[in-house]
């Protein structure tokens, strides 16, 4: 692509560095911004820079945060003894958007995946184990990807907690239910999911009580 | 989507204002920027703001420009008597990228389309007619969309030029060739295009000389 303006070219190149955005899409976005008011584009630019310069990671749960402690950790209305373990920040946003969980989080920063060179020491597992004994957690909910890597991570952390021994009280360890998606059709579900959903079947009265 | 950080939320909302970018894509882009160095994100932000604040439109051809006169208009190596009329800036970039045209441009800012409320007075047609008589243009190449609106615009401008009368010398008016795309298959071409490509057939010697 040949540009007659270096201002335009630089802007297109910056946008094209973003994941999933090629040169043509970048050009479309930049030409859109050119049509907007200066004030609006300056606001866009300032909000992005401010976000990058001021954003922090919560020192307790590693979630994205405006302050040293995130909104969720510092919210006294939430149960501080129920901990949901997730892979990344996107998962926190997804679970928060369901408005079904009223506890706190712990962001691992990934899952154990030796093929990708991610071992337990790359994740925030030590800090998690530390929190569980110090903060008086009574239930840990694992909300990790339903893959071999996710299961390995759950297994590794559970073993580590059992080895710890010095727990002040027994901790309940659960994982989010796996089964047929809401609105999904049985004939299109894969065998593994269908098999799990049969072996982990739930009594109908529970089902009705849970209101789903 | 529920965010635990207002910095994150604002940045996602700004990205989601861009065309073709929804909330989920915006979040993906923002989380990508969070992983980058501060310096890199500040550069992104500065380049975008600088582009919007400093970009100009060439006072002669209405192309995007860093200065009052664009690189193409001020380039003495280009033929200043051959003028290519295009709809928008994207078309200038597309034609420049072929490296086959060595003249100058005129950006109309659209084509005549009464259904969309675009009449001749919304476009830079008066300025085009003015340029042609003043600048000693010898050939006008129309590179407009091959649609009824494009043809109407060509017809309107040609009539206006003929009515002008006061031309210093005869101007040749051409339009870009329409026919089968390079690599296209005849059986999939629409009837209109195929019919045009037959009625506007070119001698084989010309074809070989043009090197395509």
Could you tell me the two tokens for A211? 């209101």
Could you tell me the two tokens for B59? 């006072």
Phi then psi dihedrals of residue B174, to 5 deg: -130, 170
Average pLDDT over residues B189-203: 82
B1 in contact with A at a CB cutoff of 8 Å?
yes
CB atoms near residue B14 (< 10 Å)? 19
Lowest mean pLDDT among A17-26, A111-120, A157-166, B80-89: A157-166
Read off the pLDDT of residues A197-206 as tens digits, 9 standing for 90 and up. 888 887 777 6
Q: What is the pLDDT of residue B200?
A: 83
- Every domain of chain B with CATH number 3.40.1360.10 lies at 75-210
Taking CA–CA distances from B21, the nearest residue in chain A reads A29
Residues A202, A204, A207, A212: is their CA dihedral positive or negative? positive
- Dmax over Cα atoms in chain A, in whole Å? 70
Percent of chain A's residues with pLDDT above 90: 63
Q: In this complex, do A19 and B38 lie within 8 Å of one another by their Cβ atoms?
A: no
Q: What is the pLDDT of residue A187?
A: 84
Task: Give residues 9 to 48 of A whose Cβ lies within 8 Å of B.
Answer: 10-11, 14-15, 17-21, 25, 27-34, 36, 38, 41-48
B207 has pLDDT over 80: no
- Every domain of chain A with CATH number 1.10.8.420 lies at 6-54
Q: In this complex, do B8 and A52 lie within 8 Å of one another by their Cβ atoms?
A: no
A64 in contact with B at a CB cutoff of 8 Å?
yes
| Beta-sheet strands, E only, within chain A | 56-57, 64-65, 82-86, 104-107, 139-143, 172-175
Q: In this complex, do B96 and A49 lie within 8 Å of one another by their Cβ atoms?
A: no
Q: In this complex, do B97 and A52 lie within 8 Å of one another by their Cβ atoms?
A: no
Q: What is the pLDDT of residue A168?
A: 52
Cα of A57 to nearest chain B Cα, Å: 10
B64 SS3 class: strand
Of the candidates A111, A182, A102, A118, the residue with the CA atom closest to the CA atom of residue A142 = A111
Prediction pTM value: 0.80
B29 has pLDDT over 90: yes
A30 has pLDDT over 80: yes
Read off the pLDDT of residues A67-126 as tens digits, 9 standing for 90 and up. 999 999 999 999 999 999 999 999 999 999 888 899 999 999 999 999 999 999 999 999
Q: What is the DSSP letter of B113?
A: B
Task: Give residues 97 to 156 of B whose Cβ lies within 8 Å of A.
Answer: 97, 99
Say how many CB pairs under 8 Å bridge A and B: 163
Of the candidates B44, B11, B50, the residue with the CA atom closest to the CA atom of residue B28 = B11
User: Which residues on chain A are in Cβ contact (under 8 Å) with B4?
Assistant: 63-65, 70-72, 92-93, 96
Q: State the pLDDT confidence band at A212, using cuts at 50, 70 and 90.
A: very low
Which residues in A105-135 are b (16+ Cβ under 10 Å) and which e? bbbbbbbbbeeeebeeeebbbeebeebbeee
User: Which residues on chain A are in Cβ contact (under 8 Å) with B1?
Assistant: 93, 97
Could you tell me the CA-to-CA distances from A94 to A11, A90, A97, A152 in Å, in that order? 32, 6, 5, 22
A63 in contact with B at a CB cutoff of 8 Å?
yes
Q: In this complex, do A34 and B44 lie within 8 Å of one another by their Cβ atoms?
A: no
A92 in contact with B at a CB cutoff of 8 Å?
yes
Pick from B1, B2, B3, B5 the residue to mutate for testing the A interface (most A CBs within 10 Å).
Answer: B5
Q: In this complex, do A45 and B48 lie within 8 Å of one another by their Cβ atoms?
A: yes
User: Which residues on chain A are in Cβ contact (under 8 Å) with B73?
Assistant: none
B98 SS3 class: helix
Q: What is the mean pLDDT of chain A?
A: 88
Q: In this complex, do A50 and B92 lie within 8 Å of one another by their Cβ atoms?
A: no
Q: What is the pLDDT of residue B206?
A: 64
Q: What is the mean pLDDT of chain B?
A: 88
User: Measured between alpha carbons, how far is A162 from A5 in angstroms, rounded to an integer?
Assistant: 64
B118 SS3 class: strand
B68 SS3 class: coil
User: Which residues on chain B are in Cβ contact (under 8 Å) with A38?
Assistant: 52-53
User: Residue A49: which of B18, B45, B90 has the nearest Cβ?
Assistant: B45
Read off the pLDDT of residues B74-92 as tens digits, 9 standing for 90 and up. 999 999 999 999 999 999 9
Q: What is the pLDDT of residue A208?
A: 60
Q: What is the pLDDT of residue B210?
A: 55
For residue B188, the surrounding DSSP H or E stretch is: none
Average pLDDT over residues B195-202: 82
- A139-143 and A172-175 strand pairing: parallel
Helix boundaries (H) for A20-114: 23-35, 38-54, 89-98
Average pLDDT over residues A118-147: 90
Q: What is the pLDDT of residue B212?
A: 45
| Beta-sheet strands, E only, within B48-149 | 56-57, 64-65, 82-86, 104-107, 139-143
Q: In this complex, do A14 and B89 lie within 8 Å of one another by their Cβ atoms?
A: no
B75-210 is a CATH 3.60.15.10 domain: no
Q: What is the pLDDT of residue A164?
A: 73
Read off the pLDDT of residues A174-198 as tens digits, 9 standing for 90 and up. 998 888 888 878 888 888 888 888 8
A55 has pLDDT over 60: yes
Q: Assign domain B6-54 to a CATH class.
A: mainly alpha
Of the candidates A175, A89, A64, A80, the residue with the CA atom closest to the CA atom of residue A132 = A80
């Amino acid at each position: 692509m040949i540009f007659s303006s270096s201002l335009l070219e630089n802007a297109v190149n910056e946008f094209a560095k973003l994941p999933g955005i090629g040169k043509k899409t970048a050009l479309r976005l930049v030409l859109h911004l050119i049509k907007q008011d200066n004030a609006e584009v300056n606001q866009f630019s300032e909000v992005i820079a401010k976000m990058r310069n001021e954003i922090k990671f919560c020192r307790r749960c590693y979630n994205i945060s405006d302050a040293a402690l995130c909104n969720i950790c510092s919210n006294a209305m939430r149960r501080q003894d129920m901990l949901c373990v997730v892979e990344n920040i996107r998962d926190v946003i997804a679970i928060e958007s369901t408005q079904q969980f009223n506890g706190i989080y712990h962001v691992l920063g990934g899952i154990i995946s030796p093929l990708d060179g991610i071992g337990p020491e790359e994740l925030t597992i030590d800090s998690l184990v530390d929190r569980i004994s110090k903060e008086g957690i009574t239930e840990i909910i694992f909300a990790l990807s339903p893959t071999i890597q996710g299961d390995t991570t759950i297994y590794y952390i559970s073993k580590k907690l059992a080895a710890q021994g010095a727990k002040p009280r027994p901790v309940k360890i659960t994982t989010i239910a796996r089964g047929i998606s809401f609105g999904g059709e049985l004939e299109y579900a894969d065998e593994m999911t269908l098999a799990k959903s049969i072996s982990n079947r739930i009594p109908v009265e529970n089902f009705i009580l849970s209101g789903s």
